[in-house]
Amino acid sequence: VLHADETPVSMLAPGKKKTHKAYVWAYCTTPFSDLKATVYDFAPSRASEHARTFLGDWQGKLVCDDYAGYKAGFGNGITEIGCMAHARRKFYDLHEANKSELVAKALEYIGGLYEIERETKDLPPDKRRGIRQTRAKPLDEALHQWMLEHRQKVPNGSGTAKALDYSLKRWEALTRYLDDGAVPIDNNWVENQIRPWALGRSNWLFAGSLRSGQRAAAVMTLIQSAKLNGHDPYAYLKDVLTRLPTQKNKAIDELLPHNWTPATPDKV
């Protein structure tokens, strides 16, 4: 199971003094996974080819938003897992705007689903799945029925209709998490992994070239993955850079953040 998301980053156009919009694509394991890792891929655009190239022959369950760039792989060994947080956001924004009682009911249903997730977040996948099946699945079915009934009562093109349609059109993907305890309910985890890039944009402003963006992505991959594994990034990089010149090629994997143990006690 992988999460995927992308965010824009300004990049200096070759031979010009202007910047254009490049993208950092983030892929990470789930918070339920024993392997903790995030990989950033810096690309010159948001074209779907970049996701296809990065994922290659990988097959599995991909948690993502509704961006069309990921859809090419669906059905070719990649199963789409929808993001309940995106569905909820449609109703939340409406409720903030007009305090609709109808929309409040949708938020109540979805809030119940998230309460179950909070209660089961530390359980093994099989137990999480069991609780989802007995408690979350009936709630999901009730929410689905409620959406179908009320969709017939609201005019096409209205904000409420759009919020309902967003979920109804993606319902199968939104509810696949019920059948696998290793699958999360939403894509929020990868959005947290992208946050360092959002913060960085206000500091370094832009990437000087495609190559410099790719280098930054590689370094930030190591730093963020080190953090996910509970390592101090400075201690990790210092130790790895010290050992790298003499590390045997067959043992390079030992220096990856999820495998790393310091050669000497951490002293920064």
State the burial class of residue 6 (Cβ atoms within 10 Å of its Cβ: 0-12, 13-18, 19+). Answer: buried
Q: Which pLDDT value is given to residue 267?
A: 45
pLDDT in tens, 131-151: 999 999 999 999 999 999 999
**Is 38 strand, coil or helix?**
strand
pLDDT in tens, 51-81: 999 999 999 999 998 887 888 778 788 999 9
Question: Cβ neighbours of residue 223 under 8 Å, at least 6 residues apart?
Answer: 196, 233, 237
**Is 40 strand, coil or helix?**
strand
pLDDT in tens, 88-129: 999 999 999 888 888 999 999 999 999 999 999 999 999 999
pLDDT > 90 fraction of the chain, expressed in percent and rounded: 78
Q: Taking 90 as the threshold, does the pLDDT of residue 250 lie above it?
A: yes
d(CA 21, CA 7): 10
Contact assessment for residue 220 and residue 53, using Cβ atoms and an 8 Å cutoff: no
Concatenating the DSSP letter of every residue in 153-201 gives TS-TTSHHHHHHHHHHHTHHHHTGGGG-TTS-SSSHHHHHHHHHHHHHH
Q: Is the pTM of this model over 0.85?
A: yes
Q: How high does pLDDT run on average in the chain?
A: 93
Question: Cβ neighbours of residue 209 under 8 Å, at least 6 residues apart?
Answer: 11, 12, 14
Q: Which pLDDT value is given to residue 265?
A: 56
Q: Which pLDDT value is given to residue 205?
A: 77
